[in-house]
Amino acid sequence: MEKEIFLVEGAGFCFGVKRAIDIAFDVAEKHKEGLFTLGPIIHNPQVVEKLRELGVNPLEDISDRLDIKTLIIRAHGIPKGKLEELKNYGFEIIDATCPFVKRAQKIAEKLALEDYQVIIIGDKNHPEVKGILSYAGEKAVVIKNSEEIPYINKKIGIIQQTTQPLSKVKEILNGIINSLSEFEEMRIFNTLCNFTSKRLEATEKVAKEVDMMIVIGGKNSANTNQLANLCRKIGVKTFHIEDAEEINSDWFRGVKKIGITAGASTPNWIISKIVDKIKCL
């Protein structure tokens, strides 16, 4: 049976991830030793390994390292206090934080300084949200769904983790608005990444027209997991993989139309390798 492959438009690197990777590879080319990133620069183990081969190693803790000459801040950003601490060590710091994340940090800080209670819609355990929260003041809270809406102060400012689905944000905002009697003033800032929203929309469109979806990206990538969950919710057979080695030929028996999408941290070379392998099955 001849297979048709439909690649979702815009699959792969988003602007912020591409920028961070370009910075890391550029640093690796100019400097030959003492190169590190604070945490994985993006949530893709294959890219992290490729950088490791070039001498750029991820670190979770720098306290015992005396060989650091250049430290790259990952695309997700880091907490404000951590950044201030790093400046005291004396090595070169290169900030590869995504500009969309950086904007969310600045808005959170401004709202906190103006005495707003900052509400962040997102995953409190995600490194991006941990970073934003550090700028948002003591009254700030993180909520993941409409059931977690907290006690609300008189003045609230709302921002979002950049990779949150628009549908979820709207649902939570409706829940907050229903608490209208609890606050006097509300400011909402759109800190969502357009790349993420467009990829979700394009993936949904393809998933409704095919027999199977292959979702490519790191298993620890929030936006890739969102894509996989979206496809499963639609009801199409879905497989979330990181590279071509995970492909099982049995998946494709009786399948004619195959959709392929990828998270924001997935490089084109991994996508191409997977497409080529599927074509050969």
The residues, ordered by sequence, that sit 6+ positions from 76 with a Cβ below 8 Å of its Cβ are 39, 97, 98, 101, 126, 127, 128, 131
Structure tokens at 225: 């997991």
- Examine the residue annotation and report whether 128 is marked as an active-site residue of this protein: yes
Single-letter amino acid code for the residue at 220: N
Buried b (16+ CB within 10 A) or exposed e, 145-184: ebeebeebbebbbbbbbbbbbeebbeebbeebeeeeeeee
Catalytic residue among 4, 128, 201, 242: 128
Single-letter amino acid code for the residue at 73: I
Active-site residue set: 128
